[in-house]
A and B are shown apart, each in its own frame.
Chain A
Amino acid sequence: MSFLEILYFIVPSAIFYAAPLILVAIGGVFSERSGVVNIGLEGLMVIGAFVGILFNLLFADTFGGMTPWLALVAAMVAALLLSLLHAVASISFRADQVVSGVAINLLAIALALYLVKSIFDKGQTDFISERFARYNVPVLSEIPVIGPLFFTSVYNTSFFAIGVAFLAWFVIYKTPFGLRLRAVGEHPMAADTMGINVARMRYVAVMISGALAGIGGAIYAQTITGDFGHATINGQGFMALAAMIFGKWHPLGAMGAALFFGFAQSLSIVGSSIPVIQEIPNVFLLILPYVLTIFALAGFIGRANAPKANGKPYIKGQR
């Protein structure tokens, strides 16, 4: 296999694995930029994956090819509702945001499996019939090198995820909403004195993170696994969290990190058919994203990168 052939093999698969990570990491960026730590991303993804699959199974006959996309909407709504729980606990009830996130994760997987067992009478759902389809982008896929790398046998969801990342960048850095979002995460009291409703901003941010994590989970389930069970998401949400940190809480940075982690994941799966890489024990590829994140935190990502008020409840009238 030539080097280029290897790239043709790996790059599309890396992008394919990265798409859900990008969306969920961007969700994390919104939440944490507003000052709410969200380690519940994993659970929100779980709910998204479950609802996505469930919707797909129930309505495949009704909606046909549109089903996966409509399933994303259903997943988005479900995860958004679950994220409200995190918002209420950590913004209104001043709960420890990490604890609340842990509870979200426990609750999501338990609730999803409870419903799976109630509905399907077994530990996982059936396989869906309407998946997102791979396709070759007309014209663009004909371009040498770039075509096979980026436009051959791709998912529309990948373009969607990258589009969302740029949109998030625009919203966070170019609009009044973004300015307020960042102000609330850096110095909530300053924002409050400027008449910004800190709690409302944070609610909105957490709900955006829920919506994006839900979509990410549903894309993962509908492109990669095809069904839902206890191990469907298995850490993707935490990897998205790592991508968010690795990307220094910046939407495009998070996207870059997610692409890289997607690359590592795809290597650990398709690497066995590639010379050189098949020599590397799989475990190294599996732990690579986590080890890199730890090194990054110890090395080049300082505390200066994290939003200053991240994780701190804002209590009016208290310095």
Chain B
Amino acid sequence: MEYVIEMLNIRKEFGNFVANDNITLQLEKGEIHALLGENGAGKSTLMNVLFGLYQPEGGEIRVRGKKVDISNPNVANDLGIGMVHQHFMLVENFSVTENIILGSEPTKVGVTNKKDAAKKVAELSKQYGLNVDPYAIIEDISVGMQQRVEILKTLYRGAEILIFDEPTASLTPQEITELIQIMKRLIAEGKSIILITHKLKEIMDVSDRVTVIRKGQGIGTVTTAETNPNELAALMVGRQVTFKTEKGPAFPAEETLTVKDLVVEDYRGIPKVKNLNLAVRKGEIVGIAGIDGNGQSELIEAITGLRKVKSGKVLIHGKDVTGMKPRKVTQSGVGHIPQDRHKHGLVLDFPIGHNIALQTYYMAPISKSGIMDYNRITEKAEQIIKDFDVRTQGPHEPARALSGGNQQKAIIGREVDRNPDLLIAALPTRGLDVGAIEFIHSRLIEQRDNGKAVLLISFELDEVMNVSDRIAVIHDGEIVDVVIPEETTEQELGLLMAGHADKDKKGGKHSVE
């Protein structure tokens, strides 16, 4: 069999940390080859080595059988390797064409020839069925469209081998379907694809073979048709994984959180949450399922007082907290695990102890008439570090130095320790490994069993299905339906998330409120 790319025994170090240790990946011509691994396993590092952004410390790369030295992305481009980045590498205020030609601009007497370039972009777009407007400005087009621009960037440069880095992370189900079609079309036109992902379902759907890596180590390559999700998961994690989180039945009582006809706008005045109604009761976990960007962030920020409410009401225990400052909302009995722990959850340059005190620093016993007692912070931090199994050298270690999982445990410890009646957990497991995910899920369920209300926001269907007692599906700023996990399927949820609500069913067996 002919290999278009061979990465043999690749080793990449960052200081003392070995990100890639003896990894081998061989890509056959015309195949879709999945690269599977947990977050932080070293997938992106490996691909950045292939793309010339990093130089490996060991091993060799062969392209079409010839040994190559990929010292920068230009070399990769010349070898026909193109990368579709997870975080799109697009200049937002440039047009599609400008983004595509950047770095290899056609010119006419020294002047950028955008007209001819746009024509070529339009032709490529047509050839691969991408339907992209060459003159559109990036910030005006959808995420799915932006991804196609990324694909066009590689095709414009004549890429034969395309690397897709977690391409479905922020796409709607239809967009995912369309992407899969695009990938198949690319293969039909003679291209080869490496697909980086940690989603087993995607792998089973599109890939021909899978290479698994774990904690920087190459585990092996298997043929997709000869394996199954359970086996892949075990290879990825290194032990048997039960996908089902264990939990007993819920005993919901009175409403803790009530959201009534909530309308929230973004900074441009465009409504992101539209007349949304939602209730979370004592002793239950309500999961919000939806694609990124359908109003989840705005909803949470509105509930917690971080964003202005246009109209409607937010009640905690029947008490109106609409438009209150974040601190007032917190004091009404709300705990909040924010979706971006580095941006909102932690002051990374503070010691982890200070971070654990971030919601209580202003109150006795830590603060008395404006004077801090840092010893109290240390005491409190030590207790939470112990209770929540935060692996750290101690309260004085900077938060930045902790791993993602331990940072998240510290945040959860901080929020849960205050014993809030309502715990809001936004993407609490994003970017974490399986062990940390299991720990966090069990803590959420423990809160529920202690008679608290839990609101879980997640983009991962598995997580919503496993942890929630009820699932509210959000689409375009509205709750389109509320379903019971045991009575629904991922397909049904996917349709709801895409906005295909069954109108007859809406408000039927499970009322939204």
**Interface positions of A (Cβ within 8 A of B):** 174-176, 178-180, 182-183, 186-187, 189-196, 308, 316-317, 319
Interface string of B71-113 (1 = CB under 8 A from A): 0111001000001010101111110001101111101001110
Q: Compute the total of residue contacts between A and B using a CB distance below 8 Å.
A: 68
B135 at the interface (CB under 8 A from A): no
Contacts of B72 in A (CB 8 A): 195
A186 pairs with B91, CB closer than 8 A: yes
In the complex, which of the residues A183, A193, A317 contacts B94, with contact meaning CB atoms closer than 8 Å? A183
**What residues of chain B lie closer than 8 Å to A178, measured between beta carbons?**
112
Question: Does any Cβ of A come within 8 Å of B22's Cβ?
Answer: no
Please tell me which one of the listed residues A179, A189, A317 contacts residue B98 in the complex, with CB atoms under 8 A apart.
A179
Query: What sequence of 0s and 1s flags, for each residue 141-155 of chain B, a beta carbon within 8 Å of any chain A beta carbon?
Result: 000000000000100
Residue of A nearest to B113 (CB): A176
Knowing A174-B111, A179-B112, say if A191 contacts B87 (CB, 8 Å): no
Q: Does B241 contact A (CB under 8 A)?
A: no
Docked complex Cα distance between A196 and B102 (Å) = 8
Interface presence of B53 (CB below 8 A): yes
Contact A317 B73 (CB under 8 A): no
A180, A186, A195, A319 interface centre (most CB from chain B within 10 Å): A195
B-side interface residues toward A, CB under 8 Å? 48, 51, 53-54, 72-74, 77, 83, 85, 87, 89-94, 98-99, 101-105, 107, 110-112, 153
Task: Chain A residues near B112: list those with CB within 8 A.
Answer: 174-176, 178-179
Please determine whether A194 and B53 come into contact, CB atoms closer than 8 angstroms. no
Cross-chain contact A191 with B54 (CB below 8 angstroms)? no
B111:A196 contact, CB within 8 angstroms: no
Q: Which residue among A175, A190, A308 has the maximum number of chain B CB atoms within 10 Å of its CB?
A: A190
Q: From B54, B87, B92, B102, give the contact of A194 (CB < 8 A).
A: B102
Q: Which of A174, A186, A319 contacts B87 (CB 8 A)?
A: A319
Q: Contact check: which of A180, A192, A308 meets B73 at CB < 8 Å?
A: A192
- Within the complex, the shortest CB–CB distance from B309 to chain A, in Å, comes to 24
Given known A-B contacts A175-B111, A316-B53, A196 and B87 have beta carbons under 8 A apart? no
B212 vs chain A, min Cβ distance (A)? 24
Cβ distance B151 to chain A, nearest Cβ, rounded Å: 14
A176 to B102, CA, bound (A): 8
Task: Find out whether the CB atom of A195 lies under 8 angstroms from the CB atom of B74.
Answer: yes
Beta-carbon contact of B92 and A187 below 8 Å? yes
A contact residues around B107 at 8 Å (CB): 175-176
Which of B73, B74, B102, B111 is close to A183, meaning CB atoms less than 8 Å apart? B102
Are B102 and A179 in contact, with the CB atoms below 8 A?
yes
Q: Which of A174, A190, A317, A319 contacts B91 (CB 8 A)?
A: A190
Contacting residue for A189 out of B89, B92, B101, B102, CB 8 A: B89
Closest to A185 in B: B91
- A182 and B94 CA atoms in complex are apart in Å by 9
* Contact B111 A194, beta carbon cutoff 8 Å: no
Q: Are A175 and B110 in contact (CB under 8 A)?
A: yes
How near does chain A come to B373, taking the closest CB pair, in angstroms? 34
Give which listed residue, B77, B85, B92, contacts A186 with CB less than 8 A. Answer: B92
Q: Let me know if A193 and B92 touch, CB within 8 A.
A: no
- A255-B53 Cα distance, complex, nearest whole Å: 39
| Other contacts beyond A175-B111, A194-B153: 10, CB < 8 A | A174-B111, A176-B107, A176-B112, A186-B91, A187-B91, A191-B91, A195-B74, A195-B77, A196-B102, A317-B54
Bound-state Cα–Cα, A316 to B104, Å? 21
A308 to B83, CA, bound (A): 23
CA A194 to CA B52, docked complex, whole Å = 11
Q: 6 tightest CB-CB pairs across the interface, nearest first?
A: A194-B103, A190-B89, A176-B105, A195-B74, A195-B103, A187-B91
Shortest C-beta distance, B403 to chain A (Å), equals: 17
Q: How far is the CA of A305 from the CA of B111 in the complex (A)?
A: 25
Q: Which residues of B contact A194 (CB under 8 A)?
A: 73, 89, 102-104, 153
Closest Cβ of chain A to B140, distance in Å, is 14
Q: A179-B112, A317-B48, A317-B53 are in contact. Are A187 and B89 (CB under 8 A)?
A: yes
Taking a contact as CB atoms under 8 Å apart, the answer to whether A180 and B102 are in contact is yes
**B51 contact set on A, CB distance < 8 A:** 193
Which residues on B sit within 8 Å (CB–CB) of A190? Answer: 89-91, 99, 102
* B77 surroundings in chain A (CB, below 8 A): 195
In the bound assembly, the distance between CA atoms of A191 and B99 in angstroms comes to 9
Bound-complex Cα distance A119 to B89 (A): 54
Please indicate the chain B residues that have their CB under 8 angstroms from the CB of A191 in the complex.
91, 102-103
In the complex, what distance in Å separates the CA atom of A195 from the CA atom of B98? 15
Choose from A182, A187, A195, A317 the contact partner of B90 (Cβ within 8 Å): A187
Closest beta carbon of chain A to B430's beta carbon, Å? 15
In Å, the complex CA distance between A193 and B102 comes to 10
Measured between beta carbons, the chain A residues less than 8 angstroms from B110 are 175
Complex CA gap A183/B92 in Å reads 10
User: 15 A-B residue contacts at CB 8 Å?
Assistant: A175-B107, A175-B111, A175-B112, A180-B102, A182-B94, A186-B91, A187-B91, A190-B91, A191-B102, A192-B53, A193-B83, A194-B73, A196-B102, A196-B103, A317-B48
Q: Are A193 and B53 in contact (CB under 8 A)?
A: yes
Contact B73 A179 (CB under 8 A): no
Which residues of chain A are within 8 angstroms of B92 by Cβ–Cβ distance? 186-187, 308
Nearest-Cβ distance from residue B261 to partner chain A, whole angstroms: 32
Report the nearest A residue to B72, measured CB to CB: A195
Known contacts A176-B105, A191-B103; decide if A183 and B91 are in contact (CB<8 Å). Answer: yes
* Residues in A whose Cβ lies below 8 Å from that of B54: 317
Q: How far is the CA of A265 from the CA of B161 in the complex (A)?
A: 60
B98 contacts across to A, CB distance below 8 A: 179
B105–A179 contact, CB under 8 A? yes
Query: Distance in Å from the Cβ of B74 to the closest Cβ of chain A?
Result: 4
| A174 contacts across to B, CB distance below 8 A | 111-112
Q: Are the C-beta atoms of A186 and B93 separated by less than 8 Å? A: yes
* Chain A residues closer than 8 Å to B48, beta-carbon distance: 317
Report the bound CA distance from A316 to B89 in whole Å. 14
State how many angstroms separate the Cβ of B56 from the closest Cβ of chain A.
13
**Which chain B residue lies CB-closest to A171?**
B110
Query: Complex Cα distance A193/B85, Å?
Result: 10
Tell me the bound Cα distance from A180 to B91 in angstroms.
11
Distance A28 CA – B323 CA, assembled complex (angstroms): 43
Contacts of A195 in B (CB 8 A): 72-74, 77, 103-104
Inter-chain CA distance A286–B153, complex, in Å, is: 51
| Measured CA separation A176–B92 after assembly (Å) | 18
Residues of A within 8 A of B102 (CB): 179-180, 183, 190-191, 194, 196
Tell me the complex Cα distance, A194–B99, Å: 9
Q: Is the CB of B91 within 8 A of A193?
A: no
Taking CB atoms, residues of chain A closer than 8 Å to B99 are 190
Q: Chain A's nearest CB lies how many Å from the CB of B157?
A: 9
Question: How far, in angstroms, from A180 to B112 measured CA to CA in the complex?
Answer: 11
B89 touches A193 (CB 8 A): yes
Q: Which residue of A lies closest to B89 (CB)?
A: A190
Q: What's the least CB distance linking A294 to chain B, in Å?
A: 23
Chain A nearest Cβ from B138, distance in angstroms: 10
A179 contact set on B, CB distance < 8 A = 94, 98, 101-102, 105, 112
CA of A42 to CA of B91, assembled, Å: 31
Bound CA span A175–B101, Å:
12
Residue of A nearest to B90 (CB): A190
Within the assembled complex, what's the spacing in Å between the Cα atoms of A193 and B86? 13
Give the complex CA separation of A106 and B72 in angstroms.
Answer: 39
A179 to B105, CA, bound (A): 9
In the complex, the chain B residue whose C-beta lies closest to that of A304 is: B93
Residues A193 and B73 in contact, CB atoms below 8 Å apart: yes
In the bound complex, how far is the Cα of B105 from the Cα of A178, in angstroms?
11
Chain A residue with minimal CB distance to B83? A193
- Most chain B CB inside 10 Å of its own CB: which residue of A187, A192, A194: A194
